[in-house]
Amino acid sequence: MSAKTSPARDYILFAVFAVAVLTMPIWLAPIGAGYPDLLQKFAIFGLFATGFNILFGLTGYLSFGHAAFLGVGSYTAVWTFKLLGMNPVPAAIMAIIASGIFALGIGYVSLRRSGIYFSILTLAFAQMSYNLAYSVLTPITNGETGLRVLRSDPRLFDGKGAEQGPLIANLFGIDMTGWGGFYFCAVILLIGFFIAQRIFRSPFGIMLRAVKTNQNRMTYTGLNPRPYTLAAFVISGMYAGLAGALMCITDPLAGAERMQWTASGEVVLMTILGGAGTLLGPIFGAALIKYFENIFSAFNEQTLHEIFSFLPDFIEGPVISVAGLFVGEGWHLTLGVLFMLIVIFLPGGIMEGVSRIGKLFKRSSGKSEPNRATAPAE
Amino acid sequence: MEILRVEGVNKSFGGLRALNNVNFSVEQGTVHAIIGPNGAGKSTFLNCMIGRLVPDTGTVKFGNVSLTGMKPYEINQVGVSRVFQTPEIFAELTLLENVIIPTMAKRDGQFSLRPFKRLDGDAEIQDKALHMLEDVGLAEKKDVISGSLSRGDKRRLELAMCLSQDPKLLLLDEPTAGMSRADTNNTIDLLKRIAGRGITKVVIEHDMHVVFSLADKVTVLAQGTIIAEGKPEEIKGDPRVQEAYLGGAHL
Amino acid sequence: MDVIILQLLNGLDKGGAYALIALGLTLIFGTLGVVNFAHGALFMLGAFCAVTFNKLLSLEIVTTDPTKTTAWGTPLEIRTPYIEAYLGDFGHWVLNYSVPFSILLAIPVMLLFGFIMERGLIKHFYNRAHADQILVTFGLAIVLQEIIKSIFGANPIPQAAPDAVRGAADIGAALGMDPGVIVYPYWRMVYLAFAGAVVAAVFAFLQFTTFGMVVRAGMADRHTVGLLGINIERRFTIVFAIAAVVAGLAGVMYTPILPPDYHMGMDFLVLSFVVVVVGGMGSLPGAVAAGFLLGILQSFASMNEIKAILPGIDQIIIYLVAVVILLVRPRGLMGRKGVMEN
């Protein structure tokens, strides 16, 4: 890989990506995704998955507890709103710091083990956080109701004028809901992507990939893997915390369900679906899942009738009842099937599919590259 | 001058005494072979030297540094490298990346966090790694994923990785195990070629052909005890050695 | 004293469920080397076998009684389950015992399902990374639970224990303590005995049959057993099916304790995995011991006296124990060296 990287290529990739992200409202409109709430989710979960990928994609450590950092970030952001005011920047910074510290603690303990033991340890920590957030930590988390900003909160730096109007985050007068919120998230995603890109290309990045492929050789090469994995864990925890903060910046409410292990499973799925270890893959994966979630879960019998109306009645009936299983409430079924299909047939995710198709074209046009064997997909 | 000194090393696994009061020293700049029948304790001995196992009693001293109880990466940092019986390489990375990692480890130490530096902008490391690959004749494959190499090539890559760190002492655990005759001879040539660099080597080997074409000195280990030591020619004719090997057959 | 006995008993039945699920999980892991995240879903499928069986038995025929009328003047409808209509008292008896009888349905269903799952999916994942195994079985678990949800709905469906074992025993009184202190439902005793019997059966099967011997040898050293020319793959399928049946039966018998719903599998899966890891991956006695141990610990942690000292401890005790054990004894209570460490 190193032979093919160059600063110029990376800047071009970044520029193309930046343009694509910022113009999403335009080019995603035709497929019904051009509205701010959904695009905010694309950006937020894209950021979450990008961070997760720094840990899982590079080092191969499969964390099943990243939702805990998402939750910590969310709660910290809302508390920052409550104490300091509705500006999103301090909220984001505080969330990064808090989730980083949290990740340092959990990572320090969990990384003493590898393989499935690591997965179970992270899962255990996340479940503990989730259960505690629901029970004894209610004074901090407000339990089931969720934590929100109240008018009676101090909000030290909010001007007097902030007494009126809805309690939403605003960046020097720009409300962080709707398009304002989307562009704020998009810019953060771009910063996050840029950092991830640099990490991928850095000496630190190659050490993380070394951890994944052979820790034994690494130690006999004079390298201590533990600080590398811990650094990756903390960085990805910070990404998760920042994503959690963005959720509250666009909608100032933090609930414990964000920390449940299904949420951790979701980010794993996003990363795998897009392609673990690739830069763009996890972001694609996140967007795709959030898109399907929105579209599919909005389907109902009526829309299915419209779609399949071209079929003769006696076929249409069964088709609709089968398709009905997969949409609306049953969207999770689609998710599960998708999950299985990807793991079975395309372990490298969408990005591997893309590169396979790319190779197919290259081969057919006679420009094969004899020296580049593909990495076995793990 | 002595570079490695092992004194009074004992190691037991449960009731089995794998190493029995082993004393051993290696002269700087020589190739020292350790031979012995199966189960003689050769690998245990090597593992005690590189920190994979901690001896029950005794000391392993490298120059003035005691290696006993040190972590593997610390032992490497003081200048001891190891080639494994089955090549241990970064199978998912390219050959060049495989060599870049030890080169950087040598320059930057056991941990260095530079998340924003560009690896492809580090000409010093890139050039050094590429030179190393040229040295072992793998330069034209630098962008191949190393897991797809033949066993002989993997071994050469592993050697390049160790050599890129300019080790003071190189430990080789059966460097020709499972290789074809041609690959074995290539490896011998390569090892001879790098012999001129003043790297001290300890070789564990089964293949007498390899031992007698490389070694300056041979130590024979049987049942956890050193039974003979000397120049290859002396060892060849030693009746105790023949006894150990032949006697081992009907044990 | 009485409180301790009560909590011990309370912990046992939950522990029994954990132990049964964990037993199958660790059996699959030990022999096939596969991490099965769909095992909780198998537990849930078993529970829904009981629901299905009960529904089938309770299908009704409608007759009208012309001599009586409803308030609207229509003839009064009398609904009788088929089985009672045709078999009379015996039918009523069968319906009453529908939960234990659903074992008869659950065994073939789970065997078949286990067989299909192993041949159709798991087989192809023997040599894949553990992460891939986790992910594909996680996907399968989602699929199974969503299918169950679409058939049976999202609400829990309570199942009644047979009349004869409804109610509770006053164990305290039997032991000469104040009556009403230690009251323990009969069905939980049945469950406990059942769990014990299943565990004993699995162990006996592995201990005393040739098949079991091969399986145990395979758990100890899979490679060598393969070299002996024993067709280990066919046995894998059977082992997987057995594990599926064990989980299924655990689910069937648990229905009177916890009304089954579609996500019960996931709830138990996470805990069962913790149980397996605490017991030691691939260790059968470890899984059983850890199952009961964690069940009992959880029950003690939810005592008010304990909660007063350590608020929230009941919520995290299992995970806390898991963390501590993994750090102190990396291979769990009874795990073997070198399992899953890469």
Q: What percent of chain A is predicted at pLDDT more than 70?
A: 93
User: Is residue A141 predicted with pLDDT exceeding 50?
Assistant: yes
- Round to whole Å and give the CA distance between C342 and C329: 17
pLDDT score for A69: 95
- Round to whole Å and give the CA distance between C23 and C45: 17
Residue C156: partners with Cβ closer than 8 Å, 6 or more residues away = C258, C259, C260, C261
pLDDT score for A4: 66
Residue contacts between A and C (CB atoms, under 8 Å): 120
In contact, B34 and B201? CB cutoff 8 Å: no
The residue that leads in pLDDT, A370 or A69, is A69
pLDDT score for A365: 61
Give me chain B's average pLDDT, please: 84
Each residue's pLDDT tens digit, B186-212: 888 888 877 767 788 898 887 777 888
Q: How confident is the model at residue A364 (pLDDT cuts 50, 70, 90)?
A: low
User: Is residue B152 predicted with pLDDT exceeding 60?
Assistant: yes
Q: How confident is the model at residue B94 (pLDDT cuts 50, 70, 90)?
A: very high
Distance from CA of B236 to the nearest CA of A (A): 34
**Are the beta carbons of B115 and A376 separated by less than 8 Å?**
no
- Round to whole Å and give the CA distance between B159 and A256: 53
CA neighbor of A48 nearest in space, from A228, A245, A208: A245
Region A5-27: mean pLDDT is 89
Q: How confident is the model at residue C88 (pLDDT cuts 50, 70, 90)?
A: confident
**Are the beta carbons of A214 and B102 separated by less than 8 Å?**
no
Closest partner residue to A2 among B81, B112, B120, by Cβ? Answer: B120
C34 at interface of A, judged by CB pairs closer than 8 A: no
Residue C72: partners with Cβ closer than 8 Å, 6 or more residues away = none
Helix (H, G, I), strand (E, B) or coil at B80: strand
Q: How confident is the model at residue A99 (pLDDT cuts 50, 70, 90)?
A: very high
Closest partner residue to A114 among C147, C323, C341, by Cβ? Answer: C341
Region A27-56: mean pLDDT is 90
Residue contacts between A and B (CB atoms, under 8 Å): 144
How many residues in total does chain B contain? 251
Query: How many degrees, rounded to 5, is the angle at CA A297 between CA A282 and CA C143?
Result: 70
Minimum Cα–Cα distance from B106: chain A residue: A222
pLDDT score for A341: 87
- Round to whole Å and give the CA distance between C7 and C300: 6
CA neighbor of A325 nearest in space, from B140, C149, C277, B34: C149
Neighbours of chain C (3+ CB pairs under 8 A): A
**Are the beta carbons of A372 and B143 separated by less than 8 Å?**
yes
**Ordered domains of chain A (ranges, CATH):** 2-259 (1.10.3470)
Neighbours of chain B (3+ CB pairs under 8 A): A
Distance from CA of C272 to the nearest CA of A (A): 11
- Chain B environment of A218 (Cβ under 8 Å): 73, 101
The residue that leads in pLDDT, A348 or C195, is C195
**Are the beta carbons of A375 and B145 separated by less than 8 Å?**
yes
Question: What type of residue sits at position A275?
Answer: G
pLDDT score for A54: 95
- Round to whole Å and give the CA distance between C264 and C248: 13
Q: What percent of chain C is predicted at pLDDT more than 70?
A: 95
pLDDT score for A251: 86
Closest partner residue to C132 among A127, A269, A343, by Cβ? Answer: A343
- Round to whole Å and give the CA distance between B132 and B129: 5
**At the topology level of CATH, where does B1-79+168-251 sit?**
Rossmann fold (3.40.50)
pLDDT score for A162: 54
**Are the beta carbons of B89 and A373 separated by less than 8 Å?**
no
- Round to whole Å and give the CA distance between B168 and A30: 66
- Chain A environment of B118 (Cβ under 8 Å): 7, 198, 201-202
The residue that leads in pLDDT, A92 or A178, is A92
User: Is residue A123 predicted with pLDDT exceeding 60?
Assistant: yes
User: Is residue C140 predicted with pLDDT exceeding 60?
Assistant: yes
**Are the beta carbons of A217 and B144 separated by less than 8 Å?**
no
pLDDT score for B66: 86
Region A358-376: mean pLDDT is 56
Helix (H, G, I), strand (E, B) or coil at B143: coil
> What is the residue whose two structure tokens read 């025993």?
C169
> What is the residue whose two structure tokens read 């006053």?
C170
In contact, B133 and A19? CB cutoff 8 Å: no
pLDDT score for C281: 80
Q: How confident is the model at residue C117 (pLDDT cuts 50, 70, 90)?
A: very high
C66 at interface of A, judged by CB pairs closer than 8 A: no
Question: What type of residue sits at position A155?
Answer: R
User: Is residue C342 predicted with pLDDT exceeding 70?
Assistant: no
- Chain A environment of B147 (Cβ under 8 Å): 375-376
Q: Which long-range contacts (CB under 8 A, 24 or more apart) does B103-106 make?
A: B103/B128, B103/B129, B103/B132, B103/B164, B103/B165, B104/A203, B104/A206, B104/A207, B105/A221, B105/A222, B105/A223, B105/B76, B105/B165, B106/A222, B106/B164, B106/B165, B106/B166
Q: How many C-beta atoms lie closer than 10 Å to residue C129's C-beta?
A: 17
User: Is residue A352 predicted with pLDDT exceeding 70?
Assistant: yes
**Are the beta carbons of A204 and B106 separated by less than 8 Å?**
no
Closest partner residue to B120 among A5, A218, A227, by Cβ? Answer: A5
Q: How confident is the model at residue B106 (pLDDT cuts 50, 70, 90)?
A: confident
CA neighbor of C27 nearest in space, from C224, C199, C256, C255: C199
Q: Output the six-digit token pair for B175.
A: 């460097």
- Round to whole Å and give the CA distance between C125 and C116: 14
- Return the residue in C324, C326, C336, C340 with the most chain A beta carbons within 10 A, the one to mutate for interface testing: C326
Residue C28: partners with Cβ closer than 8 Å, 6 or more residues away = C34, C36, C39, C239, C240, C243
Q: Output the six-digit token pair for B130.
A: 């590429």
pLDDT score for C222: 67
Closest partner residue to C340 among A117, A121, A329, by Cβ? Answer: A117
Neighbours of chain A (3+ CB pairs under 8 A): B, C
Residue C232: partners with Cβ closer than 8 Å, 6 or more residues away = C214, C218, C222, C225, C226
> What is the residue whose two structure tokens read 């998760």?
A240
Closest partner residue to A120 among C132, C150, C322, by Cβ? Answer: C322
- Return the residue in C37, C319, C321, C329 with the most chain A beta carbons within 10 A, the one to mutate for interface testing: C319
Minimum Cα–Cα distance from A272: chain C residue: C135
Q: How confident is the model at residue A45 (pLDDT cuts 50, 70, 90)?
A: very high
pLDDT score for C337: 57
Closest partner residue to C340 among A116, A335, A378, by Cβ? Answer: A116
User: Is residue A19 predicted with pLDDT exceeding 50?
Assistant: yes
User: Is residue C341 predicted with pLDDT exceeding 60?
Assistant: no
Most confident of A89-98, A356-365, B14-23, C27-36: A89-98
Kindly report which listed range (A271-275, A328-332, B144-148, C245-249) carries the lowest average pLDDT score.
Answer: A328-332
Q: Output the six-digit token pair for C259.
A: 């009304």
In contact, B92 and A212? CB cutoff 8 Å: yes
User: Is residue C177 predicted with pLDDT exceeding 50?
Assistant: yes
Q: How confident is the model at residue B248 (pLDDT cuts 50, 70, 90)?
A: very low
- Round to whole Å and give the CA distance between C113 and A70: 37
- Round to whole Å and give the CA distance between B159 and B69: 26
CA neighbor of A346 nearest in space, from C65, B167, A95, A338: A338
pLDDT score for A160: 56
CA neighbor of A342 nearest in space, from A284, A272, A285: A272
User: Is residue A2 predicted with pLDDT exceeding 50?
Assistant: no
> What is the residue whose two structure tokens read 């037993």?
C23
* Window A:43-72, CB contacts with C under 8 Å: 60, 62
Region A160-167: mean pLDDT is 59
Torsion on CA atoms A254, A275, A365, A363, rounded to nearest 10:
-170
What's this model's pTM, rounded to 2 decimal places?
0.86
Minimum Cα–Cα distance from B103: chain A residue: A221
A322 at interface of C, judged by CB pairs closer than 8 A: no
Each residue's pLDDT tens digit, B28-61: 888 888 888 877 788 888 888 877 788 888 888 8
**Are the beta carbons of C139 and A337 separated by less than 8 Å?**
yes
Phi, psi of C205 (to 5 degrees): -60, -45
CA neighbor of C264 nearest in space, from C135, C152, C120, C114: C152
Torsion on CA atoms A214, A219, A223, A227, rounded to nearest 10:
80
Give me chain C's average pLDDT, please: 83
- Round to whole Å and give the CA distance between A297 and A156: 41
In contact, A170 and A244? CB cutoff 8 Å: no
User: Is residue A370 predicted with pLDDT exceeding 50?
Assistant: no
Q: Output the six-digit token pair for C276.
A: 């397996």
Ranges of each domain in chain B: 1-79+168-251, 88-166
Q: How confident is the model at residue A67 (pLDDT cuts 50, 70, 90)?
A: very high
E strands, chain A, in order? 147-148, 170-171, 174-175, 253-254
Q: Output the six-digit token pair for A163.
A: 């007494």
What pairs with residue C19 in β-bridges?
none
3-state helix, strand, coil in chain B (%, to 5): 40, 25, 35
Q: What percent of chain B is predicted at pLDDT more than 70?
A: 96
Region C140-160: mean pLDDT is 87
Residue B197 burial (10 A CB sphere; 0-12, 13-18, 19+): exposed
Distance from CA of A115 to the nearest CA of C (A): 6
A36 at interface of C, judged by CB pairs closer than 8 A: no
Minimum Cα–Cα distance from B167: chain A residue: A221
- Chain A environment of C124 (Cβ under 8 Å): 344
DSSP strand pairing (A253-254 vs B80-83): unpaired
pLDDT score for A159: 63
Q: Output the six-digit token pair for A3.
A: 């032979």
